[in-house]
Structure 1
Amino acid sequence: MSRLGPVITLAAGAVLALGLGVASTIATPAAEETAANTAAEAPPVEESSAAPSPSPSQTAAKKIAKADYGGRVEGNGALIAISIRNGKAIGYFCDGRTEAWFKGSESDGELQLKGVANAGSKVTAELGGGRAEGWVSVGGRKWDFTAPTVVKPSGLYRATAIVRGARLRAGWIMIKNPNGGYYQVGAAFAGEEQLDIPQLDSAQPTAPVTVDGTTVNPEDVDGFIEEMQ
């Protein structure tokens, strides 16, 4: 009886080991199958389709560095001149009797100016194709205009001085005539009194001229655009 004890014990151990091995073999494929099914059922990870936020340089409005325009106002006979420097803009309307100065800005080819002396006066224009096209409102009236780009001596000029205690202001617009020479229009005032205004020398438009007995020095737009802002 004592000799059979070890044999029985070894046999029982062998059976137990065999059972554990079979169980392990069965469990491993089942676990792998469960993991595969879980991976198949998991929802796919979606990639973000949102575009990256634009940088400030991409969204900043474009501004014209430098441009000058000049042309006739339709149905009026007046001239209008517009100058832009780094997005800052000024304009001048004149028919020899009535005048109006404007200031404002340009951005992305859109021009918006308001009257300097009368905020009710306005200039609105679109810029492109080598011209400014829009409308000007002065004294409660409104006219369309088309003003091509111009190069010096065409453009806008201004002079200021003190005459008999009053501030003299004079403005000129010079436009090249297709038939030769230049067409000019301008106006001068000492306070509210209108004065006769001389023509500028197209060969040297900033040369001194005499207005009502006072010598003044016309400036081209680069000399006063910052002051008007």
Structure 2
Amino acid sequence: MSVVRILVVDDHEVVRAGLRTVLEDADDLSVVGEAATAEQAVARARMLRPDLVLMDVRLGEVGEVGDAGGIEACRAIRSDLPETRVLMFSSYGEREAVVASILAGAAGYVTKNVARAQLLEALRAIARGESLLDPKVTGLLLEKLKELSAKERPPDDPLSPREREVLALIARGLTNRQIAEALGISEHTARNHVTSILDKLGLSRRTEAAVYAVRLGLISEE
């Protein structure tokens, strides 16, 4: 069994210690390092080359949410180490922080009140190459996407009815496994649908697909 190597980044030592205990209870997860600041996070990521970074958003910085140290560290790590994936982890679920994290290259965003089992599954999903948003913050992201997206329906929609169903679930932050469960199909089939959707639309990221879903009107305005 392949073990996922994780760098834990949080400016509170007690939080890092707690996360290490939780993660190392899992046979398939291993904490290979810790960092308390954005600068340390980038330096240790370059040195350790972890599979995944669990990154606090704020890291003690004061200022605009979008300028939080964790987000800047995420951007630097993703630029230097594109194979290393980042899961943002925060006490806060502000819309701007969620959007800034995704734009910085994070593969997901969960809040710190997430259950232990959900955190472990989120890390495994990210390690498998999936993208993930805590349901608590998905709505915040969609609100921002609605602001950024064009109001009109894009012309010449190339997607099949099934692909449109999958696209709507992608936009709600579901993983391939969750999409498969929701539609009663295999995870392999769900993954193929996602790949086909991105290829047909000329997109590379699920967040870009979410914008398209909003423009198609697949996401409720509620």
Interval containing the TM-score (normalised by the shorter chain) = under 0.3
Bigger share in helix: 2
Q: Which has the larger radius of gyration?
A: 1
TM, length-normalised to structure 1: 0.23
Structure with greater proportional strand content: 1
